């Protein structure tokens, strides 16, 4: 009898503890953070983890969301693309997060995508990418090619009168697809195939001597030449050093980069990079009240006035603010309801304008071209007059130019063919 009473008491105790755990868990809204904190992409992604943690802290100071505190769940996929999928599954199935902010490379996003769609999760992706995608379960807060790559080429062509083009990228889906778009665009503009050089290197590539020599030779044909760079991660450091070693200056062959921002420039010798360019939708140097407040908040959070801000941070900031608005609007963190509530949401960007989430799950954003300065900051040398709406599907690729994404009724499709009036992918 005594043993039975003890067992019953233990059962009640365990049951009470379990109930208490469930009650505590239910009192928080979990935010997944899926960024590489080690490996070749840590140079770029670690700051985005810190940005999400800062946003969570600030939201909690405002009282949380729907009367609950936000709780960040951080994992490290370690620049390992299959591990991104495993960690995404863990976040949704085990940790039961309500939303995920994460990924940098397109190969990591492509790895995560089937998991997010299978488990009906919600991902905010904050980095420029190649387009050719629109998922019900993803909001793309970075730039599509028409918000970065194509305006950058237009600037080089019209303002710098570039005639020869080196398309240099890391060997994965984003550079290859973006360069496919750019090749088609350049040829449509009358550029001859022999005036386009394409080169790919693996992640973490360090020996640039022969490649830079080839670029230098390609640029010696008497025509103005530029490099359009989709080189990602820490491979950028030896690339720019080798350009300087071989005497290739920004005046000789300017490089416009799509993956080099303030974070990548911090802590390295910027002398080889001065005068080269980058195309983004935000620079820390932009003067606006919103940007000043964001920078001050970032320095206060990190307790380090030398920490820089960059474009993917702004995209994370915009996505996070839009998500909180959509959750409040929907009155729930339910993915399907939040997804619909997101469409049409607006929030101030950091350059003085307004970000709009469109029905193709892409933002309207300004486009800026910046010139690298010796302090690692950018001087804006060109910008669009206002925001540019992101295109999910390129107008310059066969098989894509007839497609649109529209996640509102009656279409509710990420790849709707406007000619055949059919959807060939994910629907509700």
User: How far is it, in rounded angstroms, from Cα 58 to Cα 6?
Assistant: 47
User: How far is it, in rounded angstroms, from Cα 189 to Cα 183?
Assistant: 10
Q: Return the pLDDT at 26.
A: 61
- For range 231-241, the mean pLDDT: 92
195 and 165 in contact (C-beta within 8 Å)? Answer: yes
Confidence band for 135, pLDDT divided at 50, 70 and 90: very high
Which helix or strand (DSSP H or E) is residue 173 part of?
helix 173-188
Q: Which two tokens stand for residue 52?
A: 């999400």
Q: What are 137-185's pLDDT values in tens digits? A: 999 999 999 999 999 999 999 999 999 999 999 999 999 999 999 999 9
Q: Which string of DSSP letters, residue by residue, matches 108-139?
A: HHHHHHHHHHHTT--EEE-S--------TTEE
Distances 206 to 167, 242, 245 between C-alpha atoms, Å: 18, 10, 14
Q: Single out the residue of 255, 263, 251 nearest to residue 279, CA to CA.
A: 255
Q: Who has greater pLDDT, 125 or 20?
A: 125
- For range 116-139, the mean pLDDT: 97
Q: Return the pLDDT at 413.
A: 97
32 and 99 in contact (C-beta within 8 Å)? Answer: yes
Fold annotation for 146-286+369-389: Rossmann fold (3.40.50)
Strands (E), 143-276: 164-170, 196-201, 225-230, 255-257
232 and 170 in contact (C-beta within 8 Å)? Answer: yes
For residue 199, is pLDDT > 90? yes
Look at strands 99-102 and 123-125 and give their pairing: parallel
Confidence band for 95, pLDDT divided at 50, 70 and 90: very high
For residue 254, is pLDDT > 70? yes
Q: Who has greater pLDDT, 233 or 113?
A: 113
Residue with tokens 């307790």: 303
Rg for the chain, CA atoms, rounded? 23
Q: Cα-flanking dihedrals φ and ψ of residue 62, to 5°? A: -80, -5
- From the centroid of its chain, how far is CA 115? 19
For residue 80, is pLDDT > 90? yes
7 and 74 in contact (C-beta within 8 Å)? Answer: no
Q: What are 281-316's pLDDT values in tens digits? A: 999 999 999 999 999 999 999 999 999 999 999 999
Distances 278 to 42, 220, 355 between C-alpha atoms, Å: 20, 23, 21
Q: Return the pLDDT at 5.
A: 45
Ramachandran region of residue 278, left (φ > 0), alpha (ψ -120 to 50) or beta?
Answer: beta
pTM of the shown model? 0.90
Q: Which two tokens stand for residue 148?
A: 């970065």
The structural domains of the chain, with segments of one domain joined by +, span 11-144+292-365, 146-286+369-389
> Domain 11-144+292-365: what homologous superfamily?
Response regulator (3.40.50.2300)
Q: Single out the residue of 135, 132, 136 nearest to residue 178, CA to CA.
A: 132
Q: Return the pLDDT at 267.
A: 76
Mean pLDDT for all residues in the chain: 93
Residue with tokens 């949401």: 345
Is the link from the previous residue into 419 a cis peptide, with omega within 30 of 0?
no
**Domains 11-144+292-365 and 146-286+369-389 belong to one CATH topology:** yes
77 and 83 in contact (C-beta within 8 Å)? Answer: yes
User: At 329, is the secondary structure helix, strand, or coil?
Assistant: helix
Residues 6+ positions from 333 with CB-CB distance below 8 Å: 29, 66, 98, 99, 327
Look at strands 225-230 and 422-423 and give their pairing: unpaired
Which residues are registered as beta bridge partners of 140? 125, 362
Q: Which two tokens stand for residue 341?
A: 């509530």
Biggest alpha carbon–alpha carbon distance for the chain: 98
- For range 336-354, the mean pLDDT: 97
Residues 6+ positions from 354 with CB-CB distance below 8 Å: 346, 347, 348, 364, 387
For residue 16, is pLDDT > 60? no
Residues 6+ positions from 259 with CB-CB distance below 8 Å: 44, 128, 229, 230, 231, 232, 233, 236
Q: What are 20-74's pLDDT values in tens digits? A: 333 344 689 999 999 999 998 998 999 999 999 999 999 999 999 999 999 999 9
Weakest mean pLDDT among 162-166, 190-194, 231-235 = 231-235
């Amino acid at each position: 009898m005594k043993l039975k009473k003890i067992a019953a008491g233990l059962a009640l105790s365990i049951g009470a503890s379990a109930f208490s755990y469930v009650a505590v868990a239910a009192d928080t809204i979990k935010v997944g953070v899926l960024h590489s904190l080690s490996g070749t992409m840590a140079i770029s992604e670690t700051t985005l983890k810190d940005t999400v943690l800062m946003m969570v802290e600030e939201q909690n100071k405002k009282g949380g969301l729907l009367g609950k505190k936000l709780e960040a769940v951080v994992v490290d996929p370690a620049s390992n693309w299959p591990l991104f999928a495993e960690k995404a599954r863990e976040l949704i199935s085990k940790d039961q997060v309500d939303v995920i902010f994460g990924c940098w490379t397109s190969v990591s996003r492509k790895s995560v995508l089937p998991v997010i769609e299978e488990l009906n999760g919600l991902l905010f992706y904050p980095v420029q990418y190649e387009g050719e995608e629109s998922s019900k379960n993803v909001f793309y807060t970075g730039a599509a090619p028409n918000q970065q790559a194509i305006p950058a080429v237009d600037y080089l062509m019209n303002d710098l009168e570039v005639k020869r083009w080196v398309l240099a990228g890391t060997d994965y889906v984003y550079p290859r697809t973006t360069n496919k778009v750019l090749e088609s665009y350049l040829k449509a503009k009358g550029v001859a195939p022999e005036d386009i050089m394409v080169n790919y290197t693996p992640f973490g590539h360090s020996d640039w001597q022969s490649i830079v020599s080839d670029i230098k030779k390609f640029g010696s044909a008497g025509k103005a030449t530029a490099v359009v760079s989709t080189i990602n991660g820490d491979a950028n450091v030896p690339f720019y050093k080798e350009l300087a070693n071989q005497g290739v200056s920004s005046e000789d062959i300017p490089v416009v980069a799509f993956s080099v921002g303030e974070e990548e420039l911090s802590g390295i010798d910027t002398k080889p990079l001065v005068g080269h360019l980058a195309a983004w939708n935000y620079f820390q140097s932009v003067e606006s009240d919103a940007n000043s407040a964001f920078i001050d908040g970032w320095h206060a959070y990190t307790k380090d006035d030398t920490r820089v801000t960059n474009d993917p941070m702004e995209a994370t900031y915009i996505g996070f603010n839009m998500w909180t608005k959509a959750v409040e609007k929907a009155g729930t963190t339910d993915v399907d309801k939040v997804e619909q509530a997101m469409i049409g949401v607006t929030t101030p960007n950091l350059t003085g304008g307004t970000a709009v989430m469109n029905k193709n799950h892409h933002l309207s954003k300004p486009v800026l071209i910046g010139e690298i300065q010796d302090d690692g900051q950018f001087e804006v040398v060109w910008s669009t007059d206002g925001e540019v709406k992101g295109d999910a599907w390129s107008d310059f690729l066969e098989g894509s130019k007839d497609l649109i994404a529209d996640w509102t009724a009656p279409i509710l499709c990420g790849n709707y063919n406007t000619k055949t009036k059919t959807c060939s992918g994910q629907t509700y």
